[in-house]
Amino acid sequence: MADLGEFGLIARVAARLGAPAAPAGPGDDAAVVPAPDGRVVASTDLLAEGVHFRRDWSTAYEVGVKAAAANLADVAAMGAVPTALLLGVALPGDTPLAWVDGLTDGLREEAARAGAVVVGGDTVASTDRITLAVTALGDLRGRAPVTRAGTRPGTLVVAGPLGHAAAGLALLVAGVGELPDLLAAHRAPRPPYALGPVLADAGATGMCDVSDGLLADLGHLLGDRLGADLALPADVLLAAAGERLGFDPVGWQTAGGEDHSLLAVLPPGVVVPGTTVLGRVTDVPGIRGVSITGRTGHDHFR
Amino acid sequence: MADLGEFGLIARVAARLGAPAAPAGPGDDAAVVPAPDGRVVASTDLLAEGVHFRRDWSTAYEVGVKAAAANLADVAAMGAVPTALLLGVALPGDTPLAWVDGLTDGLREEAARAGAVVVGGDTVASTDRITLAVTALGDLRGRAPVTRAGTRPGTLVVAGPLGHAAAGLALLVAGVGELPDLLAAHRAPRPPYALGPVLADAGATGMCDVSDGLLADLGHLLGDRLGADLALPADVLLAAAGERLGFDPVGWQTAGGEDHSLLAVLPPGVVVPGTTVLGRVTDVPGIRGVSITGRTGHDHFR
């Protein structure tokens, strides 16, 4: 990679990403992205090697997917449609070119799955580890953004899995190469972005992506005023991983991060196909719950 | 800093940045930024400790200014008005809180100087060095973006200094703590953002910021079709630094990066107050030039 130089690397990445969004190209200082709504939704995340991914556990393609997903889910969780990604990457000089190519491919394809394009970026030399900075932009198409502050009592739902990424990570840490769906959930989460705008249109009063774990993210939605009664569904994959590792899968469901699933509160009585009901949000502060596991029936937690 | 945790750190940074842009707050997944033009200009840069800054050479405040300036200048160079910054920062656990506070202050104040606000970001733990990822957004206010591909023969001008950041870095490397304006140009460049839209309105056909050095950035503007005849102005600060270090200041003027000054090509006959004329762009490929130094009169280069 060092032989190629920064400009060579940028040209290679740009070529691999395909045609840029007109009217600005990869040689320009900045990209120009359509924002027909008149507002733009923007989110930035950093992914650090050794913290968010390991090159011996994930392919470059998977790291690209994961970096894109973490940001695209943030945009979708506001009720917006993702439009563009910008990539910043700090690379050690000995990073194989094939790794950069794989990263680029993963970002491009996951962006496309969300309806977005990679429009720009920056590469710098790093002396030690790979650091990725991804910024996602999105368009609200006239919707009000779904914010944490707007959360009201109603039905709590999730679009996408809960705890799968954490269970996959636990399997990797333990050296267990089974349950590929869980490993994939850690390496390359694939959130249901399209359900973000759908949930917003259904009247979601609060929404976020699950990046820090259900209880942590739900706590942020609820604030001091609201509470929740949870009834977590059984999950056969988590149950299998739990039996394999001797771990209660409720821990992954409640505290596992990085699923990037969409957690939303809908008005009472509203249902949205493709989502799982987790319980209800009330005006009684605190989170109370039972889990419904395949094995033991009901486990109280917290 | 490790004691505070990520949420504590985000809350601290958010409080220091002041009130967020309505309607989304620092607890939301993404920011909502006005984009009245219906398009948004976006640019990302990474700054790596040891590559772009050193904590023993720059204060945290200066690093914040520099990180903001590198991106805000990219937006201004498209002819857009900066509107928002997003900050991603990877921090070793032993980073002093005062350093984070200083960084935040520098970013906020330089953004304000450009008319923009810091609307969001992300912090992650890093085991080794500080890495900053800054994304700047801007609004074109109905203008056509000024792209590299649009460059036509005309008058080449620059808004801001050429070579000052490189000379300042050379002074720091040599341990010479003199010529504070040059040291400041390296540590905390202050590009004239407002001249970006002014140059666009004056009909600039091509524009970029000087991040890699005049000849490199001009070369990108010119492409294969165009050329330039340069007559670089004398610069008393560079001459003083050159005499102090025994270095020809033309090297800094032509190859010094990170000034983040705005380099633009204006239609023949058009002048813009606040800019320095560097020569003319022609349809004869190649860059030819003389430098006008206070000491020797004319030096041919390249």
Taking the C-alpha atoms of residue A45 and residue A89, their distance in angstroms, rounded to an integer, is: 12
Q: Do A45 and B122 touch (CB under 8 A)?
A: yes
Q: Which of A39, A133, A138 sits opposite B88 (nearest CB)?
A: A133
- Judged by a CB distance cut-off of 8 A, whether residue A31 touches chain B is yes
- CB contact at 8 A, A165 and A106: no
Closest by Cβ to B145, choosing from A24, A135, A207:
A24
What is the distance between the alpha carbons of residues B218 and B56, in angstroms, rounded to a whole number? 32
Q: Measured between CB atoms, which of A38, A42, A84 is closest to B31?
A: A42
Q: What is the pLDDT of residue B24?
A: 65
Supply the DSSP string of B217-256, one letter for each residue: HHHHHHTTT-EEEEEEPP-HHHHHHHHHHT--HHHHHHH-
What is the DSSP-derived secondary structure letter of residue A148? Answer: G
Per-residue pLDDT band at B291 (split at 50, 70, 90): low
CB contact (8 A) between residue A23 and residue B51: no
pLDDT tens digit sequence for B124-179: 887 678 999 999 999 999 999 999 999 999 999 999 999 999 999 999 999 998 89
- Asked if B149's CB is within 8 angstroms of A46's CB, the reply is no
**What is the pLDDT, as a whole number, of residue A126?**
77
Point out the residue among A28, A120, A133 whose CB comes nearest to the CB of B148. Answer: A28
Q: Does B125 touch chain A (CB under 8 A)?
A: yes
Contact B271, B198 (CB under 8 A): no
Nearest to B10 by CA among B124, B127, B112: B124
Q: How confident is the model at residue A24 (pLDDT cuts 50, 70, 90)?
A: low
Question: Order of strands, edge to edge, in the sheet holding A39-48?
Answer: A117-126, A81-92, A131-139, A39-48, B31-34
Chain B residue with CA closest to A74: the answer is B29
Instruction: State the greatest distance between any 2 C-alpha atoms of chain B, in Å, as a whole number.
Output: 61
Q: How many residue pairs bridge chain A and chain B with CB atoms within 8 Å of each other?
A: 217
CA angle, corner A123, sides to A139 and B49, nearest 5?
110
Helices (H), A155-284: 164-173, 180-187, 195-201, 214-222, 236-245, 249-255
DSSP result, A248-294: -HHHHHHH-----PEEEEEPTT---TT-EEEEEEESS-EEEEEEEET
A77 touches B at CB < 8 Å: yes
Nearest to B30 among A34, A43, A133 (CB): A43
- In the numeric block, which tokens belong to residue B277? 């004329």
Q: In this complex, do B88 and A46 lie within 8 Å of one another by their Cβ atoms?
A: yes
Contact (CB, 8 A) for B138 and B75: yes
Contact assignment for B29 to A37 by CB distance below 8 Å: no
Q: What is the mean pLDDT of residues B268-294?
A: 87
Please name the helix (run of DSSP H) or strand (run of DSSP E) that holds residue A32, with its range, or none: strand A31-34
Strands (E), B51-201: 81-92, 117-126, 131-139, 154-159
Q: Put residue B179 in one of left, alpha, beta given phi > 0 → left and psi -120 to 50 → alpha.
A: left
Q: Chain A residue closest to B120 (CA)? A: A43
Answer yes or no: are the C-beta atoms of B196 and B272 closer than 8 Å.
no
Tell me how close the Cα of A227 comes to any Cα of chain B, in angstroms: 17
Contact status, residue B191 vs residue B136, Cβ threshold 8 Å: no
Q: How far apart are CA A136 and CA A69, in angstroms?
A: 9
Residue A28 has a pLDDT of: 87
Is A293 within 8 Å of A163 (Cβ atoms)?
Answer: no
Interface test with B, best of A10, A28, A52 (most B CBs within 10 A): A28
> What is the rounded distance in angstroms from the CA atom of residue A124 to the CA atom of residue A276?
42
List all residues of chain A from 230 to 289 with a beta carbon under 8 Å from chain B.
Answer: none
Q: How far is A243 from chain B (nearest CA, A)?
A: 32
User: Helix or strand or coil: residue A113?
Assistant: helix
Asked if B30 lies within 8 A of A77 by C-beta distance, the reply is yes
Q: Kindly report the nearest CA distance between residue B75 and chain A, in angstroms.
A: 6
b/e map B14-28, b = 16+ CB within 10 Å: bebbeebbeebbbbb
ipTM value, please give it: 0.85
In this model, does residue A298 exceed pLDDT 80?
Answer: no
Rounded Cα distance between B153 and B205, Å, is 9
For range B119-124, the mean pLDDT: 85
Q: What is the pTM of this model?
A: 0.88
Query: What is the DSSP track for B163-211?
Result: SHHHHHHHHHHTT----HHHHHHHHS----TTHHHHHHHTT-SEEEE-S
Q: Which residues of A touch B42 (CB under 8 A)?
A: 30-33, 42, 84, 86, 119-120, 135, 137
For residue A239, which amino acid is it? A
Task: Kindly list the distances between the CA atom of residue A78 and the CA atoms of A33, A150, A264, B95, B104, in Å, as whole numbers in the listed order.
Answer: 18, 11, 10, 32, 25
Judged against a pLDDT cut of 70, whether residue A89 lies above it is answered with yes
Query: Looking at residue A1, what is its pLDDT?
Result: 56
- Average pLDDT along chain B: 89
The conformation of residue A150, written as its DSSP 8-state character, comes to G
**Is A73 part of the contact surface with chain B (CB cutoff 8 Å)?**
yes
Using an 8 Å Cβ cutoff, are B67 and A145 in contact? no
Question: Cα dihedral sign for A49, A50, A52, A57?
Answer: positive
**A80 contacts in B (CB within 8 Å)?**
30
**pLDDT, tens digit, 9 for 90 and up, residues A206-226:** 999 999 999 999 999 999 999
Could you report how far apart the first and last alpha carbons of chain B are, in Å?
A: 50
Distance between CA atoms of residues A13 and B7, nearest Å: 34
Query: What pLDDT, on a 0 to 100 scale, did the predictor assign at position B270?
Result: 97
Q: Which of B37, B45, B46 to mutate to test the interface with A (most CBs of A within 10 A)?
A: B46
Interchain CB distance below 8 Å, A23 and B131: no
3 state SS of B65: helix
Q: What is the pLDDT of residue B125?
A: 82
Q: Write down the residue that tokens 């359509």 correspond to.
A: A34
Query: Using an 8 Å Cβ cutoff, are B263 and B156 in contact?
Result: yes
Nearest to B31 by CA among A147, A106, A163, A190: A147
Q: Mean pLDDT score of chain A, rounded to an integer?
A: 89
Of A24, A90, A120, the CB nearest to B46: A90
A276-282/A227-232 β-pairing: antiparallel
* pLDDT one-digit tens code per residue, B87-104: 999 999 899 999 999 999
Across the interface, do B123 and A90 touch by the CB < 8 Å criterion? Answer: no
> What distance in Å separates the CA atoms of residue A238 and residue A293, rounded to the nearest whole number?
10
Q: Do A75 and B37 touch (CB under 8 A)?
A: no
Average pLDDT over residues A189-208: 97
Q: Residue A68 burial (CB < 10 Å; 0-12/13-18/19+)?
A: buried
Q: Which helix (H) or strand (E) holds B281?
A: strand B276-282
Q: Measured between CB atoms, does B34 come within 8 Å of chain A?
A: yes
pLDDT in tens, A271-295: 999 999 999 999 999 999 865 544 4
Say yes or no for a CB contact (<8 Å) between B147 and A43: no
B143 phi and psi angles, rounded to 5 deg: -75, 155
Between residues B48 and B204, which one has the greater pLDDT?
B204
Does the CB of A103 have a partner CB in chain B at under 8 Å? no
- Hey, is the C-beta of A131 within 8 angstroms of any chain B C-beta? yes
Residue B54 CB neighbours (<10 A): 13
Instruction: Kindly list the structural domains of chain B, giving each domain's residue range(s) and its CATH number in brackets, ordered by start.
Output: 5-139 (3.30.1330.10), 148-301 (3.90.650.10)
What are the C-alpha distances in Å from B72 to residues A87, B57, B107?
Answer: 17, 23, 11
- Given an 8 Å threshold on Cβ–Cβ distance, is A133 in contact with B46? yes
